[in-house]
Structure 1
Amino acid sequence: MTLCCFSNMTLIYQLIVAALVLTLGEVLSFPLGLEKRDSVACGYQSCHPTVPGMLNVHLVPHTHDDVGWLKTVDQYFYGDRNDIQHAGVQYILDSVVDQLLKNPDRRFIYVETAFFYRWWKQQSSSMQQTVKQLVNEGRLEFVNGGWCMSDEAATHYSAVIDQMTLGLRFLNETFGACGRPRVAWHIDPFGHAREHASLFSQMGYDGFFFGRLDYQDRDSRRSKKEQELLWRASDSLPAPMADLFTGILPNGYNPPTGFCWDQLCNDPPIRDDPELEDYNVDDVVQRFLQIANKQAEVYKTNHIIMTMGSDFQYENANLWYKNLDKLLLHVNSQQAKGSKVNVLYSTPSCYLQELHRANRTWPLKMDDFFPYADDAHNFWTGYFTSRPALKRYERISNSNLQTCNQLEVLGGAASRKGPFGEGDSQTLRKAMAVAQHHDAVSGTAKQHVTNDYARKLADGWQRCQVLVSNSLASLSGSSAPRIYCDLLNVSVCPLTESSKKFSVTVYNPLARPVVWPVRLPVYGSAYLIKDPKGNSVDSQVLSVSKATREVRRNRGHAANELVFQVQAPPLGYTTYSVSSLQGRPSSAASPKRGAPTSIQNKFLQVNFDPDTGLISGLSNLETKQSINLTQNFYWYNASDGKNSESKQPSGAYIFRPNSTVPFVISRVAQTETIQTSVVQEVRQWFSPWVSQVVRLYADSRALELEWTVGPLPVSDGLGKEVITRLDSSIKTSEMFYTDSNGREILQRRKDFRPTWQLKQSEPIAGNYYPINTRAFIKDDVDQLTVVTDRSQGGGSIQNGSLEIMLHRRLLYDDYRGVGEPLNEVSNIFPEGLVVRGRFMLSLDRPDSAADIYRPLGQEEVLQPLLSFTDGDLNGNTQLEFTGLKAALPPAVHLLTLSQWDADSVLLRLEHQFQISESKLNSQPVTVNLQKLFSTLNVLGISELNLSANQWKDEMTRLSWTPEKEEKPYLKILEDPSAWEVTLRPMEIRTFLVRVSFK
């Protein structure tokens, strides 16, 4: 453990710091190997011995418990609604613990901490002690250990880190070092992101196992014995920091055929009484040996793994263990007759240990495992976009949670209990963690489960609002009631619509100042806005567009929108006053019919085709770049599964269009234009269910495209998958680029996979990839970048083109278990869901584009939070505040600032640029933590691993050797001093910081 302190100390201060060392060690509640453990043999020490010279078959009893899918999280835990699916997690854990106690050789692994946490809280102290003993003896082992098993396509890395931290902290505090998972375990997600592997390696995992990969990739790896590999998961972090041993499980996560002994299975039990007519031991042993030897042919070592369990199994664990005990007994008894197969109870970490002991070299992989297909016409690329409204709400909720966390720290104890009641960040933290599940944000759960995910997020935000209000009251000195308007995207806010005078407080969760456009629904036509210093702010009143009036329905009735730009300080707030100017001449700008030739500010110029009303070109006025650019909307006719090639329809998971050419919605857009000094808008209508606003603010380096899609018409019996496509003059050579979970960029090439030969069978769906925050196309001169406001799917099907899917409405289930079509309706939209979102477009030189899109992407992920107070604020109100002494450098992002305990906070700093991505910002940056905060004294710091469940200097990992080294290991940079930390490109550093208020 590393502790920083001032260099010139008195003896008394030295004693204080000495005490602080102990206190920091106690913050994580004894889980770091600091406590005494008698007769503890968990982890690698608890593994059963294997037999050299034999084929060792590692049987891994497990259950896969979805944190919501066909039933809600609560229904799954309690075993409710078994008419939908028979599953009850509480009974699984009850039964497994009982059976583990009956035979010390038995093993079991558990994954989803969200369920285990709930079960644990219901147990008696004696049962908790019993379970701790099982954990300490390695008989019950946790793998993965996050709150859930997260999706890897639609999740943002910051939310993944948070949900892993939440789950792992509980295991740490409950079980100590024996509760720390050694293995990451993603057996069900539908494709695997490189960034997830990078995060897992930085969290200290020794290995990673998953079940799903493309069927062609699996065949190729089987033939070359490359189902176990070394994944080098970063182009920027020095090896082996982001290296992760990765194993592909042989049967997904199911047992071998014929060897499933759960109450949900139909395989016959082992009947081992030789006096009975149905004695079947010989048959069972023979079949098992055949399967084991066949599996060994496609793996490298004399160790193979078999997953003995599946979805929600072991509710009656006696069925499994009674038969597994017999299997071990009878198979191993054949060794006396010359058999070379040894079967043992095991865990993924014990299996991993044997692979490490084999001292082999492993194939190296540097790309990712997207897209995933399980057959020629079954590409799981639809879920990249499925339920786009939920995907956006999850992204907004993440931003709200980070703001809530930060203000809990900055406001101190008063934020948790203040004038507005008791504040709570934990409810939203848990709801966000659940939302990362691979059937949640992915959009692949039943509708009633999806509604439950959204409800949990809404409940969490309601509780966070109290905390945020308390904190802002403490920081500003004003306890005036605060209002939060969550429907501003459709121009709904009762306070701004009705009040003649109000204030808007803009909190900026980024560690650098931002300029942000504010749009508020109002009835008036002339307003005076003043900044915290009393200066007037340029503003404009615009009429609410027809599309907005239609999408908000009866939730608001304001005729106009008040638009102005605010400047928000880093990690702080600024307050603007807004007053209606009654009796003044109207300042509202009325739209003019038709599209202009162009709109422009000092950075960008956007050209329009006067005949079609569509965008025709984009220019960067600073760099003197210009490209031809056309944007339009299209829809793919979703397959209904009734054609000759395949019976596979499009559904929540699967994207399968009927044709390679989409239908254009309209070749001409009806347009109207508003041009003011604050903002210029070209409003486009393509059909009754597709519209867009092309928007350019006065000081923006990016063009905003606000799209509104829905309700998708299905009265013609056709499911529809709507895209927007950008066609440019950029020479892309069949390549485009996407982010991986919001971090590093990966190159994508049409009809190509870097590590295996693709036989393309779906030219559209097979070229779609997840886009979490951005995608771009480029050549040697120009780069066109699209920053998204949620996770979506997209591809570059034609040279110079980039298409992104916006909305999906389908009429058939795709036979992947969800059991209902993706056909979203709601009380507000009974005829079909309407979705609104936005893109930010930038045109730059390829060697400097990241300087624009990296901060732009962070602004989309962590947007300023607006809160409102009615009337005048009292004269002593502090109208502006920043939690930092100075803004962080452009390369550095403050990823996490959250309360850990009474006087410690968790801090993560991130270098947000890749190596060689920017001439200016792809360099190491040093930050002085003691000089970071304006209102907090930093008394001591200690560095943790990424998931905050180990001290960084105590983190050790198994080392692995690749077959071919692609690039040399780089030297680790040393920090220049105790208080200063240096961040290299793409590095995240995590600290536990002891603080006091100034």
Structure 2
Amino acid sequence: MATTMHVPFVLLLCLLCQLGILGFPVSQPPQESLTCGYKSCHATKPGMLNVHLVPHTHDDVGWLKTVDQYFYGDRNHIQHAGVQYILDSVVDQLLKNPDRRFIYVETAFFYRWWKQQSEDVQKTVKQLVNQGRLEFVNGGWCMSDEATTHYSAVIDQMTIGLRFLNDTFGHCGRPRVAWHIDPFGHAREHASMFAQMGYDGFFFGRLDYQDRDHRRAAREQEMLWRASESLTPPVADLFTGILPNGYNPPEGFCWDQLCDDPPIRDDPDLEDYNVDDVVIRFLKIALEQAKVYKTNHIIMTMGSDFQYENANLWYKNLDKLIRYVNQKQGDGSSVNVLYSTPSCYLQEIHRANLTWTVKEDDFFPYADAAHDLWTGYFTSRPALKRYERLSNSYLQTCNQMEVLGGPKSRKGLFGAGDSETLKKAMAVAQHHDAVSGTEKQHVANDYAKGLAKGWAHCQVLVSNALAALSGSSSPRVYCENLNISVCPLTETSNKFSVNVYNPLARPVSWPVRLPVNGTAYSVTDSDGKAVDSQVVPVSQATAALRRDRGYAANELLFQVQAPSLGYSTYSVSLLQTMPPPASPLTRAPRTIQNKFVKVTFDPDTGLLSSLSNLETQQTVRLSQNFYWYNASDGNNNDSNQMSGAYIFRPNSSTPFIISKTAKIETIQNAVVQEVRQWFSPWISQVVRLYADSRALELEWTVGPVPVGDDLGKEVITRLDTSIKSSGIFYTDSNGREVLQRRKDYRPTWNLKQSEPIAGNYYPINSRAYIKDNRDQLTVVTDRSQGGGSIQDGSLEIMLHRRLLYDDVRGVGEPLNETSDLYPEGLVVRGRLLLLLSPPAVAADTHRPLAQGVVLQPLITFTDGKLPPNTRLQFSGLQAMLPPAVHLLTLSQWDQDSVLLRLEHQYEAKESKEHSAPVTVNIQKIFSTLDVLGVSEMNLSANQWKDEMTRLDWKAESGKKPLPKTKGDPSVWEVTLKPMEIRTFLLRVRQS
């Protein structure tokens, strides 16, 4: 933490505050009137059972209704819910009794409500927050899903939610507790992120029913989650508690307007007086709950979905409950009831000074009954899952271009653009009923519309930034359907340029495929050198898929090179009177290969038969095909559970094969070799190998899934190999650290497996692999999907789901996706990338490959010839960052400051070459920015790193956590250890 003028750090902080560079209160000293946080907690009674009542509402950021409909209380025939009325009512009721407490979670809703309030109401709410009577927990824009989200998008959505709370309420708005009461299983990487964001604890409601039974019996419903194998404890340690009733009140004690439980009738002169009955029932529930927890404190959630719209009903009865239960202490009762919050409960648990069992794996998969595995949503709505992943990539590019292009990017030649619209749309999309695919269809459409609107705003910003950086005022054209060979400009233009922006901090090589109608083209790079290109005919599958949206007969293929955090420009010109491209061969080749990879095919079936790594002289048998599981319709003998948006329940352990043979077309040229396979009218694939690629690409197209036979279908692809995997495979956690999965096994309890397929499915966010001592086959995915290793040497991934029944988990409609363009059923296209490597060095290739799929280049076009003196190549970095370092975030924070996150992308001991600490000089990273000052933040950028304090917890081993170290603020050198993310606020000047 220094400047080029060596201004002392304290003076620098003062200067930053005076200049308004920092967009949130900086280490605001507590004032006497501020009694928020742990200081606001009601006193408890030693020697008694203290029951912490937590009034709360759970407000889904879209589910059965859209975000707008939920906020305004529209379309209540679908679900009665109006968030604006909840907040109105709660604030009014909190003012009537200073003992009352309330927690709020979803900043997306609170932000909307806050903007509509008068200054007087805002002042009142700030007073409630400062007194700890209204407390924020979690505090992200939404309560994110944990299975199908990528860690970079989760960090972003938490950052914008927490920043708003910080800007608005100062340190009293900073949550101390993470609160994921509804997500359907819990990821280790989420716990790691929460710990690094400064949370003291984490509470959730859902876990496997067998796990819950085991933990109740062992009194292990609260634990220390050690959420990283690489980060030194306690960096990723997080106290974690399982709530006793999910997130609902105890049975018989729901007093919302939507509930039917009787109110407390406390007039003794009336015939229906029920205070004694209420007290007796409550004491029985409290004492039973206390038997399965370790301290003399228990927590009860008093609220549920969209409750407290008439908060008076709740609070009037809770006031009475507290008064009458506590009156029994005079008769010898040992139960004390109080209004509380999760953080106040956590404080008392911490004061108990106990040791806690350590959890090192995760909480997947989740089942709420023997045949009810919530593993279907790992794949549900695969098109939306891909759109969300693409939008994340586009947002990172948009953020970077806003910084690199300077002020002209926001308001320039092409108008006013912004990144905020896409930031908020992406944040909403992380919700546990959004990217998870567990929402109604009209809500899924609304999420997609929000992302599309964000794209449009970012396109203006990117056009402005490229104009500023290149010096060209030529309009930019965006083609968002290149995956189905649709781009009106390239289809019609005889001369155009292609700009390829690379958001990674290392150079990339990327294959470009453009729809064209010419038969030969000249392609030159930024230096005017010719680039090898080929024209191939558009496949029959692509032509059928795009329907009438495009009419290109051919595709132009060439490889581009893009510099670190920068762009390259390629010029394309039509060559006249050239012969048409060669027609594909209609037979399977024996092999396709380049200098790195060799693939063989069975000439009789047209299917893959082996995969070889030519560099390491490895070969494995590899067959790949497509299958479908018959989705249960509820008529099975052992259970009436159906497959639906949440639940995967095949009615047999044996999937149906689509076809034992494939119809083949083969194309081989200097740029690409591809084998086009047709398995049925609704499943096709291209096996593709580019000239300089170490990965084999499988581009699959599935749909419309036929349901004329009245059978819902769960479509998978399965890779069967000669690898001796011994019932073990590996998946990533939210795109970061990898966890081992073992068939029919859970690390923390003795599993009774009742669903041999669904019970062995796990979320695959970016990659999965199987291995033995010699070979590792890694599969990199282009979106979140579910998968498993049901047989040794096998890896299966679910690609698409089309179901005819609802699974009775609330969504109320079958997962049967159609659209105006595809009324007969949605068609989905995607890619799997296969890598064969020795296990010891596999991470050296699959980690950067997975990052390259997550953050793929953005391609834009300009028609005609570019103006003279256009800057054809640009890099925002002075030099490439070390291979172990990933530039996770570069985003405008305020007018003269940017947010930077640097990440060590390897685990400890994962790579002989890259799993060592690495040092970067922050002042020497960027080519267009002078870094004048740097301050380190916590992961969510809502607190200075050196001021972040967390509660210490004793692990069962009895080992004390290592002391916290304080970094030297006088140097620019930043050292990153394996799996470490470091977040900085930089004061910058455009150079």
- Normalising by structure 2, we get a TM-score of 0.99
Residues 1:340 and 2:334 are matched in the alignment: yes
What is aligned with 1:891? 884
- How far apart, CA to CA, are the structure 2 residues paired with 1:863 and 1:970? 40
Contact 2:2 2:8 in 1 (8 A): no
Instruction: Indicate whether 1:416 and 2:410 are aligned.
Output: yes
> 1:89-133: CA deviations, max 9, x gaps?
000000000000000000000000000000000000010000000
- 1:43 is the counterpart of 2:37: yes
Amino acid in structure 2 at the alignment position of 1:595: A
Distance 1:262 1:950, change over 3 A: same
3-state SS in 1 of match to 2:478? coil
Deviation at 1:38, TM superposition (A): 3.6
Aligned mate of 1:796, from 781, 789, 794: 789
Give the distance between the partners of 1:826 and 1:159, measured in 2 at CA.
Answer: 27
For the 8 Å contact 2:954–2:961, the answer to whether it is kept is no
Q: How does 1:578-657 map to 2 (within 5 A)?
A: 578-586=572-580, 588-657=581-650
Residue equivalent to 1:860? 853
Which amino acid in the other structure matches residue 768 of structure 1?
Answer: Y
Alignment of 1:955-966 (within 5 A): 955-964=948-957
Gaps of 5+ in 1: none
Q: Which residue of 2 aligns with 1:815?
A: 808
On the 8 A contact 1:612/1:669 being kept in 2, the answer is yes
Q: Does 1:851 align with 2:849?
A: no
How far the C-alpha of 1:32 sits from its partner, in A, is 3.6
Q: 1:971 to 1:917 in 2, by over 3 A?
A: farther
Whether the 8 Å contact between 1:973 and 1:982 is mirrored in structure 2 is no
2:462 aligned to which of 465, 468, 473: 468
Unaligned runs of 5+ residues in structure 2 are none
* Contact 1:238–1:971 under 8 Å retained in 2: no
**CA–CA separation in structure 2 for the residues paired with 1:887 and 1:815:** 52
Q: What corresponds to 2:160 in structure 1?
A: 166
Quick one: which amino acid aligns to residue 493 of structure 1?
C
The answer to whether the 8 A contact 2:502-2:566 is kept is yes
RMSD, aligned CA: 1.3
The equivalent position to 1:518 in structure 2, one of 509, 512, 521, is: 512
Amino acid paired to 2:264: I
Structure 1 partner of 2:132: 138
Question: Aligned to 1:574, what secondary structure does the other structure show?
Answer: strand
Give the CA deviation at 1:876: 1.1
- CA–CA distance in structure 2, aligned partners of residues 138 and 767 of structure 1: 44
The residue number in structure 2 matching 1:900 is 893
Q: Say whether the 8 Å CA contact 1:540–1:589 is kept in structure 2.
A: no
- Three-state SS of the structure 1 residue aligned to 2:930 is strand
Contact 1:151–1:189 (Cα < 8 Å) also in 2: yes
Equivalence for 2:523: 529
1:349 is aligned to 343
SS of the counterpart of 1:276?
coil
Residues 505 and 573 of structure 1 are in contact (CA less than 8 Å); yes or no, is this contact kept in structure 2? Answer: yes
- Displacement, 1:966? 8.5
1:304 aligns with 2:291: no
Q: Counterpart of 2:681?
A: 688
- In structure 2, the residue corresponding to 1:847 is in which secondary structure? helix
Cα pair 1:28 1:172 within 8 Å, conserved: no
Offset of 1:585 from its aligned partner? Answer: 3.8
Which residue, out of 6, 18, 22, partners 2:15? 22
Structure 1 segment 82-161 matched on structure 2, within 5 A: 82-161=76-155
State the 1:34 CA deviation: 2.4
Is the CA contact (8 Å cut-off) linking 2:24 and 2:163 kept in structure 1? no
**Deviation of the 1:19 alpha carbon:** 5.0
The answer as to 2:495 corresponding to 1:501 is yes
The structure-2 alpha-carbon separation of the partners of 1:165 and 1:633, relative to structure 1 and needing over 3 Å to count, comes to same
**Counterpart of 2:537?**
543
Per the alignment, do residues 968 and 67 of structure 1 end up closer, same or farther by CA in structure 2, a change over 3 Å counting?
closer
Equivalent in 305, 314, 318 of residue 312 of structure 2: 318
Equivalent residues of 2:9, 2:969 under 8 A apart: no
Is the CA contact (8 Å cut-off) linking 1:729 and 1:800 kept in structure 2?
Answer: yes
From the superposition, tell whether residues 149 and 971 of structure 1 become closer, same or farther in structure 2 (CA, over 3 Å).
closer
Find out whether 1:563 has 2:557 as its counterpart.
yes
**CA distance in structure 1 between the partners assigned to 2:578 and 2:371 by the alignment:** 64
Question: 1:217-263: CA deviations, max 9, x gaps?
Answer: 00000000000000000000000000000000000000000000000
2:2 corresponds to: 4
1:179 to 169, 173, 180: 173
Number of residue pairs matched by the alignment: 990
Q: Which letter maps to 1:871?
A: G
Who is 1:718 aligned against?
Answer: 711
- CA–CA separation in structure 2 for the residues paired with 1:101 and 1:645: 53
Displacement after TM superposition at 1:970 (Å): 9.4
Q: Which one of the candidate residues 941, 949, 955 is aligned to 2:942? A: 949
Cα distance, 1:977 vs structure 2: 6.3
What residue in structure 2 maps to residue 785 of structure 1? Answer: 778
Q: Note if contact 2:472-2:866 (Cα within 8 Å) is conserved in structure 1.
A: yes
In the TM superposition, what is the alpha-carbon distance from 1:192 to its structure 2 partner? 0.1
CA shift, 1:39, in A, is 1.2
Report whether the alignment pairs 1:882 with 2:875: yes
Amino acid at match of 1:377: H
Alpha-carbon distance between aligned partners in 1 of 2:514 and 2:578, rounded to the nearest angstrom: 19
- CA 1:151/1:966 → structure 2, altered by over 3 Å: closer, same or farther? farther
CA distance in 2, matches of 1:109, 1:789: 37
Which residue of 824, 830, 837 corresponds with 2:817? 824
Task: Indicate conservation of the 8 Å contact 2:157/2:430, yes or no.
Answer: yes
Which residue of 650, 660, 663 maps to 2:656?
Answer: 663
Preserved CA contact (<8 Å) 2:23 2:894: no
Distance 1:792 1:169 in 2: 31
In structure 2, the residue matched to 1:331 is 325
Deviation for aligned residue 1:803: 0.1
Contact 2:954 2:960 in 1 (8 A): no
Please name the residue that 2:199 is paired with: 205
Aligned equivalent of 2:213? 219
- CA separation in 1, counterparts of 2:229 and 2:959? 11
**Which residue matches 2:913?**
920
Matching residue's letter, 1:609: D
Does the 8 Å contact 1:629/1:727 carry over to 2?
yes
Q: Secondary structure at the match of 1:661?
A: coil
Pick aligned residue for 1:765 from 740, 754, 758? 758
Q: Is 2:931 aligned against 1:933?
A: no
Amino acid at match of 2:301: T
Secondary structure, aligned partner of 2:372:
coil
| Residue 589 (structure 1) shift | 3.5
Query: Does the 8 A contact of 1:975 with 1:982 survive in 2?
Result: no
**Which stretch has the larger CA shift, 547-556 or 736-745?**
547-556
Q: 1:54 to 1:905 in 2, by over 3 A?
A: same
Structure 1 residue 30, shift from structure 2 partner: 4.9
Task: Determine the C-alpha separation between the residues in 1 that align with 2:702 and 2:815.
Answer: 16
2-structure distance, mates of 1:971, 1:130: 38
Q: Which residue of 2 aligns with 1:70?
A: 64
Aligned-partner Cα distance in 2 for 1:251–1:52: 25
Distance change >3 Å, CA 344–CA 27, structure 1 → 2? farther
SS at match of 2:804: coil
- AA paired with 1:655? F
CA contact (8 A) 2:2 2:969 kept: no
Instruction: Give the whole-Å Cα distance in 2 for the aligned partners of 1:905 and 1:242.
Output: 26
